[in-house]
Copies of this chain bind each other. A is one copy, B any other.
Amino acid sequence: MSSLRAAARLRLAARLPAVRTSRPYSAAAAAKPSKPLSHAPFFSNEPAGPTIKTAIPGPMSQAAIEELDMSFDTRSLNMLANYEQSFGNYIKDLDGNVLLDVYAQIASIPVGYSNPALRAAASSEQMISALINRPALGNFPQHDWSDILCTGILTVAPKGLDQVFTAMAGSDANETAYKAAFMYRRQQERGGAHVEFSDAEIASSMINQAPGAPQLSILSFKTAFHGRLFGSLSTTRSKPIHKLDIPAFDWPQATFPLLKYPLHEFEAENAAAEAEALADVERLITTHHLPPCAVVVEPIQSEGGDNHASPAFFRGLRALTKKHNVLLIVDEVQTGVGATGKFWAHDHWNLETPPDMVTFSKKAQTAGYYFGNPDLRPNKPYRQFNTWMGDPARALLFRAIIKEIERLDLVTNTANVGEYLYAGLERLATQYPGEFQNLRGKGQGTFIAFDSPRRDEFLSKAKSVGVNIGGSGERAVRLRPMLIFQKHHADLLLEAVEKIVKS
């Protein structure tokens, strides 16, 4: 190590106590909910409750949607919103309707609409320069890029992971992680980073053939969702509509344990389902004709229907991947950044060794993957590279989000409010049998879901009682409030949900 490098490491270590020594959210802060539930709203400018003025979409929205549709596909449009007039947990549409938003841009708004602290960060000179002077980060990073990483993204790096590759969204976060996994595997097979590519590899790579383009795979799970580009879509198994007509790699999918609820009534069956799923993983790792170099898994399968598995299952998966020298990639695109009552959902697992890579996006408002093993940096430059490699403006925003989470102790808040909300839903489930099936997410913050016998009707009625809610899978209602969702919001939500099932 050069003296410069040694000095840099010292400076860095001084700056990164969170990463190197303790973990404020992951392990400590959220472990024991201690504070009482606050009744005081975090933000004074937040509406006191929903306002419904018209059917949704109202006339103003309808006209605007027709206009937008001229040039932009609006068939998946749910609501047209005015975000400059949306505050905190409330989303406002063009007809003056104000809804409590527990969908939050598909789980991607962390600290509320028009958050004042984010507004300050967005108005800063640093942000303006980042926006208008966007660098090619791999070639010409800005002078403060290390500082932006060390005071932002890396302060919340999962335990054991101190490197980051920045990306733009969940799909490319996962795909660049997959690329790292393939390169790592082939490097091992070649005998190390110092072994040069063979002529056959070089020549065949250019015609998309083995050995240069290797016959290897990424193993994912049934009902998983990992993105929609060609590599990530090959690992996505949630719904046919995402996959139809798109060529895919012949990669394997393992059974995901479909747990039965309530969990305490089906302990043995669920344990058996998890053992079976792990056996399926091992079978595919050892026998699939395209050997998996990595397993990718969501802590809670989100798009695919809010499917959970136990910490024991994930510990088993870590053990299996270690045993067979296969990497474990944890896709925290939807679960990450506090929603489960820990900063990263995989912190619930108490793993003995960390995952090899953890991908993030959504609530981080930027994307990428963390890793720890330096060998996951490819042996040569320009192998993992692209023009922008992320966006400093969005990295600055994530830093502001992290500070806001710290300031308001939002991971603790989410753990506590989640507990309260779950208890309320349990009461409703008893009161309205059949309307709240397979209630799940206990102890997982506000990352709560249940199946509804008439889900799409449920979601549509929710708007008329002032709440914006999303679904997942075929029949799940998924709750994805922001981290600033408080007890009084939970009360409003519970009341609205009761109205829906009673109607």
Enumerate chain B residues within 8 angstroms of A216, measured Cβ to Cβ: 247
9 A-B residue contacts at CB 8 Å? Answer: A4-B63, A7-B63, A67-B146, A68-B146, A71-B149, A72-B146, A122-B128, A123-B123, A214-B246
- Judge whether A265 is part of the interface by a CB distance below 8 angstroms: no
- Cβ-defined contact, A4 with B175, below 8 A: no
Cα(A66)–Cα(B5), bound, Å = 5
- Cβ-defined contact, B249 with A208, below 8 A: yes
- Judge whether A102 is part of the interface by a CB distance below 8 angstroms: no
- Judge whether A62 is part of the interface by a CB distance below 8 angstroms: yes
Cα(A73)–Cα(B70), bound, Å = 44
Cα(A178)–Cα(B233), bound, Å = 13
Choose one: B9, B72, B114, B244; the contact of A164 (CB below 8 Å): B72
- Cβ-defined contact, B228 with A231, below 8 A: no
Copies in the complex: 2
Quick one: given A145-B68, A243-B212, are A62 and B4 in contact (CB under 8 Å)? yes
Cα(A76)–Cα(B169), bound, Å = 22
- Judge whether A34 is part of the interface by a CB distance below 8 angstroms: no
Query: Which 10 pairs from chain A and chain B are nearest by CB?
Result: A230-B231, A75-B381, A83-B133, A208-B248, A8-B67, A8-B66, A213-B248, A68-B146, A118-B132, A186-B245
A380-406 CB mask vs B (1 if < 8 Å, else 0) is 111111111000010001000000000
Enumerate chain B residues within 8 angstroms of A388, measured Cβ to Cβ: 108, 169
- Judge whether A197 is part of the interface by a CB distance below 8 angstroms: yes
Known A-B contacts: A109-B134, A179-B228, A182-B246. Give 4 more (CB < 8 A). Answer: A12-B67, A208-B234, A213-B246, A249-B249
- Cβ-defined contact, B5 with A386, below 8 A: no
CB distance from A308 to the nearest CB of B (A): 21
Cα(A169)–Cα(B78), bound, Å = 25
- Cβ-defined contact, A382 with B241, below 8 A: yes
- Cβ-defined contact, B122 with A73, below 8 A: no
A204-222 CB mask vs B (1 if < 8 Å, else 0) is 0111110011111100000
Shortest Cβ distance from A116 into B: residue:
B132
A333-373 CB mask vs B (1 if < 8 Å, else 0) is 00000000000000000000000000001100100000000
Report the contact-size class of chain A (Cβ under 8 Å from the partner).
35 or more
CB distance from A164 to the nearest CB of B (A): 6
- Judge whether A127 is part of the interface by a CB distance below 8 angstroms: yes
- Cβ-defined contact, A91 with B208, below 8 A: no
- Cβ-defined contact, B230 with A83, below 8 A: no
- Judge whether A194 is part of the interface by a CB distance below 8 angstroms: no
A271-296 CB mask vs B (1 if < 8 Å, else 0) is 00000000000000000001000000
- Cβ-defined contact, A171 with B172, below 8 A: yes
CB distance from A335 to the nearest CB of B (A): 14
Enumerate chain B residues within 8 angstroms of A503, measured Cβ to Cβ: none
- Judge whether A170 is part of the interface by a CB distance below 8 angstroms: yes
Cα(A380)–Cα(B125), bound, Å = 43
Enumerate chain B residues within 8 angstroms of A383, measured Cβ to Cβ: 241-242, 244-245
A113-141 CB mask vs B (1 if < 8 Å, else 0) is 11100110111011111111111101111
A135-172 CB mask vs B (1 if < 8 Å, else 0) is 11011111101100110001000000011111011111
A243-280 CB mask vs B (1 if < 8 Å, else 0) is 11111111101000000000000000000000000000
- Cβ-defined contact, B244 with A247, below 8 A: no
Cα(A213)–Cα(B244), bound, Å = 6
- Cβ-defined contact, B83 with A135, below 8 A: yes
- Judge whether A328 is part of the interface by a CB distance below 8 angstroms: no
- Judge whether A80 is part of the interface by a CB distance below 8 angstroms: yes
- Cβ-defined contact, A73 with B134, below 8 A: no
- Judge whether A82 is part of the interface by a CB distance below 8 angstroms: yes
Cα(A142)–Cα(B72), bound, Å = 13
Enumerate chain B residues within 8 angstroms of A327, measured Cβ to Cβ: none
Quick one: given A205-B244, A229-B230, are A12 and B136 in contact (CB under 8 Å)? no
- Judge whether A39 is part of the interface by a CB distance below 8 angstroms: no
Enumerate chain B residues within 8 angstroms of A142, measured Cβ to Cβ: 80-83
- Cβ-defined contact, B133 with A114, below 8 A: yes
Enumerate chain B residues within 8 angstroms of A81, measured Cβ to Cβ: 135, 140-143
- Judge whether A94 is part of the interface by a CB distance below 8 angstroms: yes
- Cβ-defined contact, A228 with B71, below 8 A: no
Choose one: B108, B149, B171, B386; the contact of A72 (CB below 8 Å): B149
Interface centre among A81, A214, A243, A244 (most CB of B within 10 A): A244
